[in-house]
Every structure is written in C-alpha cells, then in structure tokens.
Amino acid sequence: MGISVTQLLIVLVIVIVLFGTKKLRNVGADLGGAIKSFRAAVKDGEEEKKTDENEGETIEGEVTSKKNEKV
C-alpha cells in the first residue's frame, strides 16, 4: 500500500538524472536555509509573545498585567 524501498530508489535515480547532482545540492542548501530562517522567525515570535505577556501597563501609578489583574 505504501512506497517500497525499490520504488523510492527508482524515483531518486530518475530525479538525479533529470536535475543532476549539482542542482539538487543547491536546492538542498536553499531548502536548509529556508528551514533555518523559519525556525529563527518562530523563535523570535515566541520570545516576543513572552515579552508582551510579561510587560505591565501603568494606570494611575498602579502596575497591572495586560489582563487587568493587579500585580
């Protein structure tokens, strides 16, 4: 029902013949760079979310959280 190892190898050989190893290496490097930048953006977004949650608002000299609970 799934893809066997021999079928996967045949597809891999066809891809190598069509595109060549040099182009596949470039595609792999580009894909790796894209994944790396995506992970960095996700990490920055999580850090920004944490800092936004930790920052308080000052209202008439009182510090409250963003949920308007007194701290």
State both tokens at 47: 């850090």
35-68 per-position pLDDT tens digit: 999 999 999 988 887 777 776 555 555 555 555 5
- Residue 63: its pLDDT value, please? 56
- Provide the domain count of the chain: 1
- Residue 21: its pLDDT value, please? 86
Is residue 42 domain-resident?
yes
Q: What are phi and psi of 55, to 5 degrees?
A: -75, 140
Is residue 40 domain-resident?
yes
Is residue 57 domain-resident?
no
pTM summary value: 0.50
6-39 per-position pLDDT tens digit: 999 999 999 999 989 889 889 989 999 999 999 9
Q: Does residue 5 register a pLDDT over 70?
A: yes
